[in-house]
Amino acid sequence: MAMAERTVGGVTVVDVTGSITIGAGGAEQLADKVRSLLQQGQKKILVNLAGVAYMDSAGLGELVQAYSTTMRNGGALKLLNATSKLKDLLTITKLATVFDLFDSEAEAVASF
């Protein structure tokens, strides 16, 4: 898994590529990145999942943890470009009602 960070309209966009899975640091990397952004005072976080082909339960757990950590710190974490498989996974686990999901970066940035 690889991540790139950029700022768009005051929102930190984290572009994720690869699989978010247990092992190889994948799931843990995402949570660490979010914690690091929060420590830097960046509270508007948009995770772009367009490049994520697969996420296992550990990856999903880390996403939930990152969301909870962000909320506890007075921030907001939203998801962008989730694949249809990931959207199905979020729907099945009822997490689609927790996360704000967007298909357009402009709409996602404006939602903050």
Identify the pLDDT of residue 18: 87
Higher pLDDT: 27 or 72? It is 72
Q: Which two tokens stand for residue 74?
A: 């007075």
Query: Whole-model pTM?
Result: 0.91
* Residue 28 pLDDT grade (very low, low, confident, very high; cuts 50, 70, 90): confident
Owning domain of residue 104 = 2-110
- The residues, any chain, with a CB within 8 Å of residue 69's CB and separated by 6 or more, are 31, 34, 35, 38
Locus of tokens 């699989």: 19
In the three-class reduction of DSSP (H, G, I as helix; E, B as strand; rest coil), residue 14 is classed as strand
Give the CATH number of the domain where residue 48 resides.
3.30.750.24
Q: Which two tokens stand for residue 24?
A: 């190889």
Mean pLDDT, rounded, for 17-41:
83
Total count of domains within the chain: 1
Residue 3, phi then psi, degrees to nearest 5: -135, 145
Residue 45, phi then psi, degrees to nearest 5: -120, 130
- The residues, any chain, with a CB within 8 Å of residue 30's CB and separated by 6 or more, are 1, 3, 14, 16, 20, 47, 59, 62, 63, 66
